[in-house]
Structure 1
Amino acid sequence: MWLKIKRLFFMSLVVGVLGGVIGGVTWILLFTMNVGIDLLWYLIPTRLNFVFYPLVVCAIGGVLIGFWEKRFGRYPRELSDIMAEVKAGEKIPYNNLHIIGIAALMPLIFGGCIGPEAGLAGIIVGLCFWFSDKFRFAFSEIDEIAKIGMAATVGIVFGSPLFGFFNQIEDENQQPVIPKNKKMLMYFIGIIAGFGAFNLLSSIFGGTPGLGQFPPIENTGGIEWVSAIPLALVGGCIGMLYFVFKRLVKVAIRPIKNYIVLNAVLAGVILGGVGIILPYTMFSGEHQMTELMTTWQNMGFVLLFVTGIVKLLIGNICIEMGWRGGHIFPVIFSGAAIGYAIAIFLPIDPIFCVAVVTAALTSAILRKPLAVVLLLLLCFPINGIIPMTIGAFIGGAIPVPKFLREI
């Protein structure tokens, strides 16, 4: 009995320390990203009056990203690929974490329409496998370390510990398989330790601004509930465009697929050129969400709707053409922009509309309804949980067409 307690205490301590390290590494990368963005996109442009600044900067970014990939390989890898390998028990190498770190930061700093979760996951999972190799002698459950690290990283990046947990265990077409007893305890120790370390560093030195907080839903009358299912269907169907765009981009770049630098530069030119006309199509959308909440009525239906759709396209262009990263933040922003666009024409509460559409669109792409609801609670009010649940489960239930499933 005492031996079991001792082993549990030791494993909890190891996982807690690892969680703290994960929180610290995550903060360092996100802090570095924000410093780079502030310097390149706020400090320098205020001293220049140059309309084509985004085009030039993104093209330069494409050159750097292309040559880095040509020298070191395709990094960072997509979050879904890393998660699949970890769940399959495959080992992620950890001798190139510095290369992954720079590869992850460059597209983020140069304005890529991507999120930081993929690059961070690659670094953290590699770190976890290094950690597990060092402590393999201590206890047999060490193989679970990488999965715990993945959950902690995702929970920290998105500011939602429960999202990190359920995103790790919830698979499409399967019921969530909850780890039992000791494993479940280890997951939450790792996630909470990482979350605590990240918040401590953010409170001392500053951190990321987050997605922003939508105001409460003021009206939930009959017209809102009647419109919930149609709105969810619209959001889910628009979410299918993400997969359509992904396939179209893959086909379009096939003739130049092996020209790594050309791909990256062309992606930068497209990103910067479109960004001059539609500024919100650049970056992950995390920083711009608060601006969207206050300016949407002045933007009008066409600008909001086009921004939301084009951001789904630009995100795929970035990822497929060498500006690799995550897609969750841009997808959420697209859903919010399209939700606001629809709200302009409907006599319903705008936040209700945005909550349903965003949840449906995001779930149609992620295929994880429960995780999506927990994630969106980070920025939507608590009285939006029912509309978001309706949207998430309807959007996640819309089948991906057969010809798009392979991607």
Structure 2
Amino acid sequence: MAHDTAQREPAVPAAPARALVPLILPALLVGVGASLLFVGVSEAAEQLQHVLWKNLPDALGIGRYSVLWMLVMLTATGVVVGLVVWKVPGHAGPEPATLGLNAPVLPPPVLPGLLLATALMLAGGPSLGPENPIIAVNVGLAFWAGTRLFRRLPGGLWPALAEAATIGALFGTPVAAALVISEALAGRQLKGLLWDNVFGPLVAAGAAALTTTLVAHPTFDLDLPSFGRHPGWGDLLAALVIAPLAAALGMCAVYAFPYAHGVFRRLGHPMVALPVGGLVLGLLAALGGHLTLFKGLDEVAELARDPDGRSAGEYAVLAVVKLAALLVAASCGFRGGRIFPAVFVGAAFGLGAHALIPSVHPALGVATGVLGMLLAVTRQGWVSLFTAAVLVSSPAVLALLCFASLPAWLLVTGRPQMQLRDDGTPVR
């Protein structure tokens, strides 16, 4: 009966090629532009970071990552970002705690301040990544330019192209964008086939990823010791335990998020909340060390260079302090995303599992720790699975990740997310 019913249902009509071809040029332009903006902001932030954290302390005769310098720099970063939020037109965009990867279309006057606040944050050391504000800027620019240059195309096309392009640029591959798009489309009534709907965004993501690869040569492979074996029952058990435990740790920050945000909101003015947040981040850095600063990708690579170089307790401190720093930075008003610092927390958690139980392979520990942490913090299943997989580049680990994602997802689904509504209540 079910088979007969399926046969009687009309097939979803596919879009003709002539409807898709006009999307290619706009998608290519958005993809290249989104990538160049991401690379430009990242490079500018890295150069400023080099000045602030190397040249300046060396010239002053102060230790680069001394407690004093970390306190000074993070508090000063709160002051300058607070000035941008207070005085620059547009106030650096909406409240960052209310934003996810799906950005609203912001008016052009808001975008310079948001870019400036993001670059200063990346250079100054708070534990946030560039993804959310860069997506928001690219969406705003693409919509503004696209609706003027390509008037015949629907306005709703441009945010989809810009979001896909930015994700492709961030990860250096269009695969992540394809997964995010398919997840976003899952609950919608599609007009046409899935690949018709993702055609334009995939062109944009591919162009952005290729541009980023050619210009910046990014890599996510941590070069951990190769898994190099067929998964055993012990590996499966480890994966099924580590991922949910990492997700549970991440949920601690998720549940604390509205309360931490409420504390900083009661401080009122950005010139109070952001410097106080910077000072708290400096104190956390003094506790956890310099590896708990910045967005976390370079620091994860440093951890991975010597998986056996720290004790389980040291890895636990790194994970907890970095998660607390992510919570504070996201709560006090710094403009930034949560994916990259969450990767550091998950990796430190997984390496701690390896240090505690040496039979847990470090690649498996890192991948499952990152998977669980990202599921809790982002609630993006495909992005979490993809990111965990590319960090270790092992097909054998990928099979284990698919199983490990199930209990971790059961732990987080239906619960509050690390994103707030305008009234301060968590999104579910």
Could you say which TM-score interval applies, normalised by the shorter chain? 0.7 to 0.9
Match of 1:363 among 356, 375, 387: 375
Q: Is 1:396 the equivalent of 2:409?
A: yes
Which structure 2 residues correspond to residues 7-406 of structure 1 after superposition, within 5 A? Answer: 8-47=20-59, 48-50=61-63, 51=66, 52-72=68-88, 73-75=91-93, 78=96, 81=99, 83-84=101-102, 86=104, 91-139=105-153, 141-171=154-184, 180-202=194-216, 210=220, 212-219=222-229, 220-256=231-267, 258-278=268-288, 279-346=290-357, 347-383=359-395, 384-399=397-412, 406=425
Does the 8 Å CA contact 1:364/1:397 hold for their aligned counterparts? no
Deviation at 1:39, TM superposition (A): 1.9
- What amino acid is the match of 1:292? L
Deviation at 1:85, TM superposition (A): 5.6
- What amino acid is the match of 1:328? I
Does the 8 Å CA contact 1:114/1:318 hold for their aligned counterparts? yes
Does the 8 Å CA contact 1:172/1:368 hold for their aligned counterparts? no
1:138 is paired with a residue whose SS is coil
Deviation at 1:165, TM superposition (A): 2.4
Deviation at 1:83, TM superposition (A): 4.6
Deviations 1:116-169 (A, max 9, x none): 011211210011111232134233x44212112101102211223211222244
The 3 A distance-change label for structure 1 pair 173 and 254 is farther
1:305 is paired with a residue whose SS is helix
Greater shift, 391-400 or 326-335, is seen at 391-400
The 3 A distance-change label for structure 1 pair 228 and 11 is closer
Work out the percentage of aligned pairs sharing the same amino acid. 18
1 CA distance for matches of 2:70 and 2:219? 22
Does the 8 Å CA contact 2:101/2:132 hold for their aligned counterparts? no
Deviations 1:45-83 (A, max 9, x none): 344234311111111111111111112325375497365
Deviation at 1:174, TM superposition (A): 5.2
1 CA distance for matches of 2:174 and 2:164? 8
Does the 8 Å CA contact 1:250/1:320 hold for their aligned counterparts? yes
Greater shift, 60-69 or 393-402, is seen at 393-402
Unmatched tracts of structure 1, length 5 or more: none
Unmatched tracts of structure 2, length 5 or more: 1-15, 419-424
The 3 A distance-change label for structure 1 pair 236 and 112 is same
2:151 is paired with a residue whose SS is coil
Does the 8 Å CA contact 2:277/2:332 hold for their aligned counterparts? yes
In the alignment of these two chains, the number of paired residues is: 394
Greater shift, 241-250 or 120-129, is seen at 241-250
2 CA distance for matches of 1:14 and 1:108? 30
1:385 is paired with a residue whose SS is helix
When normalised by structure 2's length, the TM-score is 0.84
2 CA distance for matches of 1:373 and 1:175? 22
Does the 8 Å CA contact 1:37/1:109 hold for their aligned counterparts? yes
The 3 A distance-change label for structure 1 pair 343 and 5 is closer
Deviations 1:24-56 (A, max 9, x none): 111111111111112222333344234311111
- What amino acid is the match of 2:86? K
2 CA distance for matches of 1:7 and 1:403? 40
2 CA distance for matches of 1:176 and 1:216? 43
